[in-house]
Structure 1
Amino acid sequence: MKAVFFDLDDTLYDQLWPFRMAFDGVFPGVDTISVVDLFTKSREYSDRVFAMTESGEMPLNQMHRYRMVHAFQDLGRNISDVEADEFQRVYKEHQYKISLIPKMKRILQYLYEKNIPMYITTNGPSAHQRAKIKALDIGNWIPEANIFISSEIHHAKPDKEYFDYVTAKTNFTNAHSYMIGDSFENDILGATRAGWNAIWINTKNKEKPHPHIQPEYEVISYKQLEELIKQLF
């Protein structure tokens, strides 16, 4: 039997929405900065220190300041630590008001009716990720036991140990495991190296950071993903 493993952030829900709400709330009237560019920059900076936050070497509040202060600097604006902290407060507040992408809800229901086992595989702090999962109200499709969070299992994507751990816990062969995610570095690279099938959701038309790594499937919209799922399962 095949099984589907979903990433959480920017896969099941639109991660830009709470970010945009925070930007509009904390920096009203600022129209010289692209929210998309700011979001992209902030992700780049948080990815740089992800291992340090997972190990506890860098506290989360310090990482939040670091990524926003540097992201704004790269786009030509300086903000204070106080402004960075306020942005994170509002951002976090909206992160717990998220909802499933509509077509993703249809995909989950389709797989559920086909009796296809589904799982969530995500990096990040346990309490924070579980709060977002709770906000998505996803329990009807994916039970709590089918959630693998890096901080809970002490391995993180894209490390092979993460995928080996999940494989051992779920008892699905690599050939029958399908990883669906937006992050080429974490989801696609990790799954490919582990021998899983990889489905890359590339709605932002990003270039592959590793040209020699080729996912089994690439989609540029959730409509395409829905069509692909119906072909595969």
Structure 2
Amino acid sequence: MNNTYRTQGKKAICFDVNQTLIHQGIHFEHAFRLVWEDYTARWIQEDLPQADQLWSKYQHYWQQHKKIKLARMQLDELQQQCLQEALQELSVPVHQQFAKEFFQLVRRHRLAAKSLAPGVEETLRALAPRYKLAIISNSPRSEVIHLLERFGLQSYFPEERIFTAHHPGEKKPGMQLFKTAIRTLALMPRHILMVGNSWKHDVCGATKAGLDAVWIQSGSTSRKISQQKLGKRNVYCIQHMDQLQELL
């Protein structure tokens, strides 16, 4: 079976952003610790908790609340509440907007450390004349647009083709974003290909919505393209973004 036949009839390609088009520079925990260490280095108050202590307390409240409250709260609101509760338990006095400002700095650290994945720009340039290109991401819309502009990718993805969740319940692997993309692109699901690094969010979500998917397994030294079935849909496994051109 040749590569052209395997992906015959595709008219649009949707991409995840983080860890697909853009490589994550530092993890959330690392950024969290860096921001707290920066704050404590500037405070006069003595006996402030170490980053390990605050992270442990934050994680305790996050695990306690996430399943119940994430369904009705925005992610950033829940993060702020968990941090406020952790600081209160550790007897750290902070002003009312501290938690909000704290996570703004966490996001800045993470955004600053991101980098463009190898082969992305060349691949998008080759695909753009033949396919509609779109984004389906769980990241905040403002962050997605910022990253596309920062790395010079905005011309490949018109804003009407950037699909992000307004509420936690709309996020992948739920079908809401995929259905919105299908409707906006005015195509049948079988004509759309989803590309992402997450088996759960990108591959399972896409195939459930009727799309074929490409799973990027970064970190592997192999350059073999493989194919498997998930339900009735095809899943293609690649290791590097530039293999997408070979697949198509």
TM-score, normalization by structure 1 = 0.66
Quote the offset at 1:66 in angstroms: 4.5
Measured in 1, the distance between the counterparts of 2:33 and 2:219 equals 20
Quote the offset at 1:218 in angstroms: 1.4
Structure of larger gyration radius: 2
By percentage of residues, which structure has more strand?
2
Partner residue, 2:237:
218
Match of 1:217, as an amino acid?
Y
Report the 3-state secondary structure (helix = DSSP H, G, I; strand = E; otherwise coil) of the residue aligned with 1:216: strand
Q: Does residue 191 of structure 1 match 2:206?
A: yes
Q: Does residue 10 of structure 1 match 2:19?
A: yes
Q: Does residue 136 of structure 1 match 2:151?
A: yes
Match of 1:105, as an amino acid?
E
State the identity %: 22
Partner residue, 1:108:
124
Quote the offset at 1:178 in angstroms: 0.7
Q: Does residue 62 of structure 1 match 2:107?
A: no
List per-residue Cα deviations over 1:93-150 (Å, max 9, x = no partner).
Answer: 13443342131122111212x4321001111433343333333331122222210111
Deviates more, 1:133-142 or 1:193-202: 133-142
Quote the offset at 1:27 in angstroms: 5.3
Partner residue, 1:75:
none
Report the 3-state secondary structure (helix = DSSP H, G, I; strand = E; otherwise coil) of the residue aligned with 2:156: coil
Distance verdict in 2 for CA 1:154–1:135, change over 3 Å: farther
List per-residue Cα deviations over 1:46-75 (Å, max 9, x = no partner).
Answer: 9x94895474x25614326759x99xxxxx
Measured in 1, the distance between the counterparts of 2:192 and 2:80 equals 33
Q: RMSD of the alignment, in Å? A: 4.1
Measured in 2, the distance between the counterparts of 1:127 and 1:59 equals 14
TM-score, normalization by structure 2 = 0.62
Contact 1:54 1:124 (8 Å CA) reproduced: no
Contact 1:26 1:86 (8 Å CA) reproduced: no
**Alignment length, in residue pairs?**
201
Distance verdict in 2 for CA 1:218–1:59, change over 3 Å: closer
Mind listing any 5+ residue stretches in structure 1 that lack a counterpart?
A: 71-77, 206-211
Distance verdict in 2 for CA 1:231–1:125, change over 3 Å: closer
Q: How does 1:202-217 map to 2 (within 5 A)?
A: 202-203=217-218, 213=230, 216-217=235-236
